[in-house]
């Protein structure tokens, strides 16, 4: 099945049920399908042909969601542009991927105007909402063709349907080619792992340009309803769960932490939830316990990358519950689960040799969800697919029961005094301190150690931290090699638009002007 086929299947089975809701728009499946055909005809009318990329630049919005399917129906790959990225990065992405047309929300109009001026391939644009704000750019309602014939999607299983970009946390963002076949495998993975007694409802609070959008797409063939929130505001999320009887949502750990700290977290009914899925970063184990106490036994973790979207690994709610109940299984709370049924995962050394249980190496994978390759980057393709596997860049290990543990990013490993230190292990312990909201552990240059383990810490609002006391606590639990030599408190850790802590940015402060960064 192709990307648009999952929406069409939902319409066949659940045509009069709500497909998308926002504070201003409610569309049934029949409504949404009809709009996507009109979008596809509008692109064809304007002279666009299959294979020409269409960019969608908006916070979460029903029309932006519809444009994803309208572009795919016309055979045009869509480029998800994260509205919280910097303008320089977004212009660079659109230029690199050769965007031909732009759908944008008025809240990013100034950035869209700059893109139209600076991206040489952009030919036209449409504003998705509100009164016109850019000269010569029509609004969605003015641009959209009237009702008419349906559009036959011209793509096949191996045609590219989506062109996301890597986050740039480890360097320059790269364009990624995902096919219809890849989405089919992703949906199969999801639906084999997540089950519902009723039609699911997902609150899309995290960006639909990222994992939240993948979850939303997979629910469509099951008659799911996508409730879009324009921003990931904790109170609005909690209210939406109760109001819409949400069954599913995807959130980064930092947002779950913020919700747990909110004074009104206990005011709402969360009994409809079946899956509160977190990903993009590990979650502190004591926070998992707290979240399960508040939201119920519904916490689930997914592991994936832009190049190999979820579900590479999935830690089910029952896995969390069993780990909390049995001290012998508690370590599983540090795991990102077991492979999805349509994904193969292994651990490999630098020579491509597959490693055994408990051995640490690079996580490699293969299967239908893995990208078709990078955009115009054969050298990166050769590196990424060496030895017949996709190389994730993550260091990990597997236990005898098949649970996968992501120890760290390959490039994040610290070599201090000749010993390898994996920051994620240290961060798990730092997170346990009651004053710590979030942290990043990095190596900084040191004449004696080569790299000195350093914890950069963001505190909870109003909290204070005795750094000497924290270091002493860490030493007792971690030993001398892994314990940070110093703890530095910052107002806020730098994060990507997807909420990931940008260790690269933190390191630059300490390694600036040096010939090496390790």
Tell me what pLDDT residue 495 has.
87
Tell me what pLDDT residue 516 has.
44
Of 357, 358, 359, 351, the residue nearest 389 (C-alpha): 351
Band (281; pLDDT cuts 50, 70, 90): low
Per-residue pLDDT at 247 exceeds 60? yes
| Lowest-pLDDT range of 53-67, 80-94, 185-199, 217-231 | 80-94
Per DSSP, the residues of 55-67 read EEE-SS-HHHHHH
Contact 255, 206 (CB under 8 A): yes
Could you tell me which residues are beta bridge partners of residue 390? Answer: 365
Q: What is the mean pLDDT of residues 284-307?
A: 92
How far CA 101 is from CA of 46, 115, 123, 474, 475, in Å, comes to 10, 11, 6, 53, 55
Report how far residue 169's alpha carbon sits from residue 263's, in angstroms, rounded to the nearest whole number: 32
Right CATH for 29-178 from 3.40.50.170, 3.50.50.60, 3.20.20.140, 3.40.50.980: 3.40.50.980
Q: What is the mean pLDDT of residues 308-318?
A: 92
Homologous superfamily (CATH) for 232-409: ANL, N-terminal domain (3.40.50.12780)
In tens, the pLDDT along 497-516 reads 667 788 888 988 887 765 44
In tens, the pLDDT along 11-29 reads 999 999 999 999 999 999 9
| Lowest-pLDDT range of 174-178, 281-285, 316-320 | 281-285
108 three-state secondary structure: helix
Band (352; pLDDT cuts 50, 70, 90): very high
Q: b/e string for 441-473 if b means 16 or more Cβ within 10 A?
A: bbbbebeebebbbbbbbbbbeeeebeeeebbeb
Report how far residue 82's alpha carbon sits from residue 79's, in angstroms, rounded to the nearest whole number: 10
In tens, the pLDDT along 135-145 reads 999 999 999 99
Do the domains at 29-178 and 413-511 have one common CATH topology? no
Q: What is the mean pLDDT of residues 139-163?
A: 97
Contact 386, 327 (CB under 8 A): no
Band (9; pLDDT cuts 50, 70, 90): very high
Count of C-beta atoms within a 10 Å radius of residue 266: 9
Per-residue pLDDT at 286 exceeds 90? no
Report how far residue 438's alpha carbon sits from residue 428's, in angstroms, rounded to the nearest whole number: 10
Angle 127-133-138 from CA coordinates, rounded to 5°: 40
The structural domains of the chain, with segments of one domain joined by +, span: 29-178, 232-409, 413-511
Contact 514, 445 (CB under 8 A): yes
73 three-state secondary structure: helix
Percent of the chain with pLDDT over 90: 75
- Residues ≥6 apart with Cβ < 8 Å to 212: 60, 202, 204, 205, 206, 249, 250
Homologous superfamily (CATH) for 413-511: ANL, C-terminal domain (3.30.300.30)
Tell me what pLDDT residue 89 has.
80
Tell me what pLDDT residue 418 has.
60
Band (48; pLDDT cuts 50, 70, 90): very high
Per-residue pLDDT at 170 exceeds 70? no
Phi-psi region of 306 (alpha: psi -120 to 50; beta: other; left: phi over 0): alpha
Tell me what pLDDT residue 517 has.
47
| Lowest-pLDDT range of 109-118, 301-310, 317-326 | 301-310
Per-residue pLDDT at 282 exceeds 70? no
Omega before 311 within 30 of 0, i.e. cis: yes
Q: What is the mean pLDDT of residues 170-195?
A: 88
């Amino acid at each position: 099945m192709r990307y648009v086929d999952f929406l069409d299947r939902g319409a066949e089975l659940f045509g009069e049920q709500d497909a998308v809701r926002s504070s201003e728009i409610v569309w049934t499946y029949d409504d949404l399908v009809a709009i996507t055909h009109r979008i596809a005809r509008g692109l064809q009318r304007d002279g666009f042909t299959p294979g020409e990329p269409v960019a969608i630049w908006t916070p979460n919005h029903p029309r932006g969601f519809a444009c994803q399917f309208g572009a795919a129906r016309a055979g045009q790959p869509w480029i998800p542009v994260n509205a919280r990225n910097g303008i320089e990065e977004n212009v660079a992405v659109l230029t690199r991927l050769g965007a031909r047309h732009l759908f944008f929300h008025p809240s990013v109009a100034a950035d869209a105007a700059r893109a139209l001026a600076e991206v040489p391939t952009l030919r036209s644009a449409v504003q998705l909402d509100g009164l016109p704000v850019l000269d010569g750019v029509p609004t969605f309602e003015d641009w959209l063709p009237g009702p008419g014939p349906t559009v036959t999607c011209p793509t096949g299983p191996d045609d590219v349907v989506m062109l996301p970009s890597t986050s740039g946390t480890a360097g320059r963002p790269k364009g990624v080619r995902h096919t219809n076949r890849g989405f089919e495998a992703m949906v199969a993975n999801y639906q084999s792992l997540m089950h519902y007694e009723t039609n699911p409802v997902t609150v899309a609070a995290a960006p639909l340009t990222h994992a939240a959008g993948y979850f939303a797409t997979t629910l469509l063939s099951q008659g799911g309803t996508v409730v879009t929130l324009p921003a990931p505001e904790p109170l609005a999320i909690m209210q939406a769960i109760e109001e819409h009887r949400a069954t599913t949502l995807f959130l980064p750990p930092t947002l779950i932490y913020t919700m747990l700290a909110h004074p009104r977290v206990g005011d709402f009914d969360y009994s409809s939830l079946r899956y509160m899925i977190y990903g993009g970063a590990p979650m502190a184990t004591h926070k998992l316990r707290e979240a399960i106490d508040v939201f119920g036994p519904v916490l689930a973790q997914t592991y994936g990358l832009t190049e190999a979207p979820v579900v590479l690994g999935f830690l089910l709610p029952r896995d969390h519950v069993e780990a909390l109940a049995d001290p012998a299984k508690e370590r599983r709370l540090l795991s990102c689960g077991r492979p999805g049924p349509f994904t193969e995962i292994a651990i490999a050394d630098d020579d491509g040799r597959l490693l055994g249980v408990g051995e640490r190496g690079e996580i490699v994978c293969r299967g239908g969800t893995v990208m078709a390759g990078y955009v115009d980057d054969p050298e990166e393709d050769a590196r990424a697919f060496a030895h017949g596997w996709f190389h994730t860049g993550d260091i990990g290990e597997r236990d005898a029961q098949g649970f996968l543990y992501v120890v760290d990013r390959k490039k994040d490993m610290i070599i201090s005094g000749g010993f390898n230190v994996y920051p994620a292990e240290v961060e798990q312990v730092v997170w346990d301190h009651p004053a710590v909201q979030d942290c990043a552990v990095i190596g900084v240059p040191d004449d004696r150690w080569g790299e000195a383990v350093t914890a950069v810490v963001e505190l909870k609002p109003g909290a204070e931290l005795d750094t000497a006391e924290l270091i002493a606590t860490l030493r007792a639990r971690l030993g001398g090699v892994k314990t940070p030599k110093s703890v530095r408190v910052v107002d806020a850790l730098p994060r990507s638009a997807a909420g990931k802590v940008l260790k690269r940015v933190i390191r630059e402060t300490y390694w600036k002007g040096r010939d090496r960064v390790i």
